[in-house]
Amino acid sequence: MSYKYMVISSLAAWVFTSSAYAANPVMPKDISVMKVEANAIEQENSVTIIPTEQAYKPIDAADLLTSTAGANVNKNGPTTGIVQYRGMYGSRVNVQVNGLNIAPAGPNWMDPPLSHVAPLQLESIKVIRGISPVSAGAESIGGTVQAKTVSLPYANGNKSITKGSLYGGYDSNNKAWNTGVQLGMGNQRNRLQLDGNFANGQDMKAGNGQYIVPTQYKRRDMGLEYGHLFSQGEGKIAYSNERVDNSGSPALPMDIIYVKGNAYTVSYKSDPKRGGIQWLADMHYMNTDHKMDNYSLRQRPLMLGMMNRPMYRYAVTNAKDFAYKLHVSLPMTRGRLTVGTDGWIVKHHADVYDPTNAKFYLQNYNNVKRKRYSIFSEWNTALSANSQLRAGVRYSRVNMNSGTVTATGFGGMLGTQINTLANRFNQSQLAQHDNLLDLTMQLTQRINDDLSFTFGVARKQRAPAYQERYLWSPLESTAGLADTRTYVGNVNLNPETSYNMDAGFDWHTERAYFTPHVFYKRVNNYIQGTALTSGTAYNFRVAQGNMLRGNSFCTANPLNPFCVPLQFSNVKATFYGGDAGFGINMNEHIALNGTISYVLGKRRDIQDNLYRMAPLNSTVALSYYGDSSWSITTEGVFYAKQNKVSVSNSEKATAGYSLFNMSARYAVNRDSEVSMGVNNVLDRFYQAHLSGYNRVSANAAGQASAVPAGARMPGEGRSFFVQARTRF
pLDDT of 39 strictly over 60: no
Cα 82 from Cα 112, distance rounded (Å):
6
Q: What's the pLDDT score for residue 44?
A: 60
Cα 685 from Cα 10, distance rounded (Å):
16
Q: Which residues pair with 46 in a beta bridge?
A: 31, 128
Pick from 457, 537, 561: nearest CA to 131: 457
pLDDT of 324 strictly over 70: yes
pLDDT of 680 strictly over 60: yes
Range of the domain at 16: 3-430+439-727
Residue 541's SS3 state is: helix
Which are the contacts of 587, defined by CB distance < 8 A and separation ≥ 6? none
pLDDT of 417 strictly over 80: yes
Residue 340's SS3 state is: strand
pLDDT of 2 strictly over 50: no
pLDDT in tens, 354-402: 999 999 999 999 999 999 999 999 999 999 999 999 999 999 999 999 9
Sign of CA dihedral 128, 150, 169, 27: negative
Q: Name the domain count of the chain.
A: 1
62: domain CATH number? Answer: 2.40.170.20
pLDDT in tens, 332-352: 888 999 999 999 999 999 999
Calculate what percentage of the chain has a pLDDT beyond 70: 94
pLDDT in tens, 476-526: 999 999 999 999 999 999 999 999 999 999 999 999 999 999 999 999 999
pLDDT of 12 strictly over 70: no
pLDDT bracket for residue 140 (50, 70, 90)? very high
For the segment 59-65, the average pLDDT, to the nearest whole number, is 95
Average pLDDT, whole number, for the chain?
A: 93
Sign of CA dihedral 295, 300, 303, 307: positive
Q: What's the pLDDT score for residue 45?
A: 83
Amino acid at the residue 393: V
Cα 99 from Cα 113, distance rounded (Å):
12
- Inter-axis angle of helices 536-549 and 412-426, nearest 10: 150
CA 615, chain centre distance (Å): 17
> Alpha-carbon dihedral of residues 645, 651, 655, 657, nearest 10 degrees?
-90
Compare 226 and 36 and report the one with higher pLDDT: 226
Q: What is the pTM of this model?
A: 0.93
pLDDT bracket for residue 5 (50, 70, 90)? very low
Q: What's the pLDDT score for residue 274?
A: 65
Locate the DSSP E strands across 640-714: 657-667, 672-679
Locate the DSSP E strands across 37-175: 46-49, 71-75, 81-85, 88-89, 94-97, 100-101, 122-128, 144-149, 161-171
Cα 663 from Cα 635, distance rounded (Å):
9
Cα 52 from Cα 132, distance rounded (Å):
26
Residue 287's SS3 state is: strand
Cβ neighbours around 494 below 10 Å, total: 14
- Angle at CA of residue 111, ends 178 and 580, nearest 5°: 80
Residue 10's SS3 state is: helix
pLDDT of 724 strictly over 80: yes
Q: What's the pLDDT score for residue 579?
A: 98
Query: Are 362 and 349 within 8 A, CB to CB?
Result: no
Through-space distance between the first and last CA atoms of the chain, rounded to whole angstroms: 51
Cα 561 from Cα 570, distance rounded (Å):
20
For the segment 155-176, the average pLDDT, to the nearest whole number, is 94
Cα 200 from Cα 186, distance rounded (Å):
32
Cα 353 from Cα 357, distance rounded (Å):
8
Cα 325 from Cα 239, distance rounded (Å):
18
Cα 35 from Cα 281, distance rounded (Å):
20
For 232-250, letters b (16+ CB in 10 Å) and e give ebbebebebebebbebbbb
The CA R_g of the chain, rounded to the nearest whole Å, is 25
Cα 518 from Cα 501, distance rounded (Å):
8
Q: What's the pLDDT score for residue 213?
A: 95
Q: What's the pLDDT score for residue 706?
A: 84
- Provide long-range contacts, Cβ within 8 A and 24+ apart, for 597-600: 597/69, 597/70, 597/71, 597/72, 599/70, 599/86, 599/87, 599/575, 600/87, 600/575, 600/576, 600/644
Helices assigned H by DSSP within 259-345: none
3-state secondary structure string across 545-584 = HHHHHCCCHHHHCCCCCCCCCEEEEEEEEEEEEEEEEEEE
DSSP string, 610-637: PTTPPPSEEEEEEEEEEETTEEEEEEEE
Residue 267's SS3 state is: strand
Most distant CA pair in the chain: distance in Å? Answer: 81
Amino acid at the residue 43: Q
Q: What's the pLDDT score for residue 272?
A: 75
pLDDT of 268 strictly over 60: yes
pLDDT in tens, 388-401: 999 999 999 999 99
Q: What's the pLDDT score for residue 40?
A: 39
Pick from 31, 33, 46: nearest CA to 449: 33
Amino acid at the residue 455: F
Peptide bond into 214 cis (omega under 30): yes
